C-alpha cells in the first residue's frame, strides 16, 4: 500500500464517500443521495488510517477534515481551537456547520435538574466571549473554507419545555429561546468572518430569525453586508415566529418588522452582486403576505442562474416580473408553497415563463396553489385538530415532536458526540442524528427536475385545466414539463399542449 501512487490511493478513499467529486447538477435540489452502505462509517476509517503512517495521515486528512460540525459546548469549542492551531489540517476545511441550540434564560423559579445544568454550560461557553475567540481563530485558519451553514438544535427536553411553557400565559421558570440564540450565533459568526476573511462563497440556514438580524447593531450590519459581495450561493429560510407565541397562518405578514427588514434586504441586494443561486423562503406552512419587491427591490443579479422562492402569498405579476428581469441568465426556477392571490391564475405564470424564459433547463413547482385554498385547509385543521382525551393529547405531543424534527429545526435525541465533528458528517441522518445538507431544504430536497422524488406517470388522465381553485400534482408536473419542453428526468421531448 505504501508504494501505491497517490492518484490510485485517492481513488480508493473516494469509495468511502461516493459522489464526493460529482460535478454540480443543474438543479441543486434534485441531487439523489449517493448509495452508501449503512455499516460504513467513513470518518472512523479516515481517522484510523491517519494512525498507520505519515503518508497515510497526509492522504486521509483532506477527507477527514473537509467538513466540520461544531456544537455549542466547551468540549466542542476546545477541539475546534486545537484544530485551528494546526494549519496543515485546518487548510482542508471547506465546510463549517454551526449547530446552535436554543439559549436558556433564567426565570424567577428554577427547575432543579436538567435545565439549570444546560444553562450553566451555555454561560460557560459565552463567558469572556470564549466562543467568539475560538471562532475568530478558526475562520483565520480555515483558508479554504467555502460553505457555512447555521442549524438550530433541539433535544427532546427542549421541546417538552417549550410545549409546556407555551400552554401558560405567564411562565416564570427557566426558558429556552431561539431568537437570542440565532442573534448570538449570527453576530459571532459575522465578527469571526470579518476578522478571519475566509473565502466563503456559500451560506445556508433553514431557521434564520429575521428578528435576530434586526437585533444586530447597524454598524455590524454594514460591515457584514460588505463581506456578502463574495457570496455566490445563498439559501435561507426565515422563521419569523416569536419565541413564545405562534402567528395565525392565515394572516402571517411579519407584523411590525416589514420596514426594517425591507431596508436590510435593500442593502443586501445591492451588495450581493455575485449571486448565482438564491433560494429564500419563510416558515413552511406559514406563508407571508409580503410584496415580493419589499424584499428584492427590483434588483437584477447579472450572474443569477437559479432562483427559488418559498412560503409566500403573491400576485402572478410579481412572479412574472422577477423572472423576466433575469430571463437572459436563469437556468432554473423553484417555487415551493407559493399561493396566488384570488383572481390570479397559475396558467398565466406558466405561459409567461414559457414565452420569456428561453434559457430555462428545469422548473420546480412544489405545493403551489391558491390563497383561498390554503386558508380553507388551515381553517379545517384548526377546526378538527382539538382533542379531549388524554390519549389524544399524548399523540399530539408525539406529532409535535415529529413535525419539529422534520421541519427546519433539527432534533437530537441526546447531546452525545460533544466534540467537533470531522468528515462528511451530513451524509446520513441515521448516523449522526442530524439532517443532511439537502434535508435542510425541507421537502424541496427531492424537488426540482420534474420533481425527481415523485412517482413517474406515463400519461395524465385527469383534467389539467386551471380553474383557479386548486393545483393538483398532475397539473404541476405537466406545467414543469411544458415550460421547458421536455421530461427532464427522462430527457424526452414533451409535446402535450397546455
User: pTM (2 decimals)?
Assistant: 0.77
DSSP 126-187: HGGGHHHHHHHHHHHH-TT--EEEEEEEEEHHHHHHHHHHHT-SS--B-EEESHHHHHHHHH
Residue 286 DSSP class:
-
| Largest separation between any pair of C-alpha atoms in the chain | 71
Q: In angstroms, rounded to a whole number, what is the distance separating the alpha carbons of residues 187 and 220?
A: 8
What pLDDT is attached to residue 111?
59
Residue 489 DSSP class:
T
Are the beta carbons of 314 and 340 closer than 8 angstroms? yes
* Average confidence score pLDDT of the chain: 76
One-letter-per-residue 3-state SS of 339-388: EECCCCCHHHHHHHHHHHCCCCCEEEEECCEEHHHHHHHHHHHHHHCCCC
Residue 445 DSSP class:
G
Are the beta carbons of 461 and 496 closer than 8 angstroms? no
What pLDDT is attached to residue 458?
42
Residue 97 DSSP class:
E
Residue 32 DSSP class:
P
**Residue 407 region, left (φ>0) first, then alpha (ψ -120 to 50), else beta?**
beta
pLDDT tens for the chain, 498 residues long, are: 566 666 655 665 665 664 555 545 566 666 555 444 444 456 666 666 665 666 666 666 777 888 899 999 999 999 999 999 999 999 999 999 999 999 988 776 665 456 778 888 999 999 999 999 999 999 999 999 999 999 999 888 888 888 887 777 777 778 888 989 999 999 999 999 999 999 999 999 999 988 887 777 777 777 777 778 889 999 999 987 766 544 443 344 454 456 677 888 888 888 889 999 999 999 888 898 889 999 999 999 999 999 999 999 999 999 999 999 999 999 999 999 999 998 999 999 999 999 999 999 999 999 999 998 888 877 666 555 444 333 333 332 232 323 323 334 444 434 434 455 554 444 333 333 333 333 343 333 344 444 434 444 444 455 688 888 999 999 999 999 999 999 888 888 998 888
What pLDDT is attached to residue 402?
31
Q: In angstroms, rounded to a whole number, what is the distance separating the alpha carbons of residues 41 and 428?
A: 10
Sequence ranges of the domains in the chain? 1-18+40-65, 73-450
Are the beta carbons of 276 and 245 closer than 8 angstroms? no
Q: In sequence order, what E strands does 189-231 have?
A: 202-208
Q: Give CA 103 to chain center in angstroms.
A: 20
Are the beta carbons of 115 and 179 closer than 8 angstroms? no
What pLDDT is attached to residue 441?
39
- For the chain, the C-alpha Rg in angstroms (whole number) is 24
Q: In angstroms, rounded to a whole number, what is the distance separating the alpha carbons of residues 104 and 111?
A: 12
Residue 194: how many other CB atoms lie within 10 Å: 15
Amino acid at each position: 500500500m505504501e508504494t501505491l501512487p497517490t492518484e490510485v490511493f485517492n481513488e480508493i478513499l473516494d469509495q468511502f464517500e461516493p459522489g464526493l467529486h460529482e460535478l454540480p447538477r443543474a438543479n441543486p435540489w434534485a441531487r439523489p443521495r449517493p448509495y452508501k452502505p449503512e455499516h460504513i462509517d467513513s470518518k472512523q476509517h479516515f481517522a484510523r488510517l491517519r494512525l498507520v503512517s505519515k503518508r497515510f495521515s497526509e492522504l486521509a486528512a483532506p477527507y477527514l477534515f473537509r467538513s466540520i460540525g461544531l456544537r455549542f459546548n466547551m468540549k466542542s469549542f476546545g477541539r475546534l481551537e486545537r484544530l485551528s492551531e494546526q494549519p496543515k489540517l485546518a487548510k482542508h476545511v471547506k465546510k463549517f456547520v454551526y449547530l446552535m441550540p436554543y439559549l436558556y434564560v433564567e426565570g424567577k423559579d428554577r427547575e432543579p435538574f436538567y435545565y439549570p445544568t444546560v444553562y450553566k454550560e451555555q454561560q460557560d461557553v459565552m463567558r469572556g466571549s470564549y466562543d467568539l475567540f475560538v471562532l475568530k481563530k478558526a475562520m483565520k485558519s480555515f483558508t479554504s473554507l467555502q460553505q457555512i451553514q447555521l442549524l438550530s438544535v433541539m433535544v427532546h427536553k427542549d421541546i417538552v419545555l417549550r410545549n409546556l411553557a407555551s400552554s401558560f400565559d405567564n411562565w416564570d421558570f427557566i426558558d429556552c429561546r431561539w431568537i437570542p440564540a440565532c442573534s448570538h450565533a449570527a453576530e459571532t459568526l459575522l465578527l469571526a468572518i470579518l476578522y478571519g476573511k475566509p473565502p466563503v462563497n456559500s451560506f445556508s440556514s433553514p431557521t434564520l430569525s429575521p428578528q435576530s438580524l434586526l437585533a444586530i447593531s447597524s454598524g455590524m450590519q454594514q460591515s457584514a453586508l460588505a463581506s456578502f459581495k463574495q457570496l455566490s450561493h445563498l439559501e435561507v429560510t426565515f422563521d419569523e415566529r416569536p419565541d413564545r407565541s405562534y402567528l395565525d397562518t392565515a394572516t402571517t405578514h411579519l407584523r411590525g418588522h416589514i420596514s426594517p427588514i425591507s431596508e436590510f434586504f435593500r442593502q443586501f441586494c445591492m451588495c450581493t452582486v455575485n449571486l448565482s443561486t438564491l433560494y429564500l423562503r419563510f416558515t413552511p406552512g406559514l406563508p407571508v403576505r409580503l410584496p415580493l419587491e419589499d424584499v428584492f427591490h427590483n434588483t437584477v443579479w447579472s450572474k443569477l442562474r437559479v432562483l427559488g422562492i418559498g412560503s409566500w402569498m403573491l400576485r402572478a405579476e410579481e412572479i412574472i416580473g422577477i423572472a423576466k428581469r433575469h430571463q437572459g441568465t436563469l437556468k432554473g426556477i423553484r417555487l415551493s408553497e407559493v399561493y396566488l392571490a384570488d383572481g390570479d391564475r397559475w396558467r398565466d405564470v406558466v405561459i409567461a415563463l414559457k414565452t420569456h424564459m428561453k434559457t430555462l433547463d428545469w422548473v420546480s413547482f412544489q405545493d403551489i396553489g391558491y390563497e383561498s385554498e390554503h386558508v380553507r385547509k388551515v381553517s379545517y385543521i384548526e377546526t378538527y385538530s382539538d382533542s379531549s382525551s388524554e390519549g389524544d393529547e399524548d399523540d399530539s405531543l408525539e406529532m409535535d415532536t415529529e413535525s419539529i424534527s422534520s421541519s427546519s429545526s433539527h432534533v437530537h435525541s441526546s447531546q452525545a458526540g460533544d466534540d467537533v465533528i470531522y468528515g462528511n458528517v451530513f451524509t446520513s441522518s441515521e448516523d449522526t442524528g442530524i439532517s443532511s445538507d439537502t434535508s435542510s431544504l425541507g421537502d424541496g430536497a427531492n424537488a426540482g427536475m420534474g420533481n425527481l422524488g415523485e412517482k413517474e406517470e406515463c400519461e395524465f388522465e385527469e383534467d389539467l385545466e386551471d380553474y383557479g381553485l386548486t393545483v393538483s400534482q398532475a397539473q404541476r408536473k405537466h406545467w414543469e414539463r411544458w415550460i421547458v419542453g421536455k421530461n427532464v428526468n427522462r430527457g424526452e421531448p414533451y409535446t402535450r399542449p397546455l
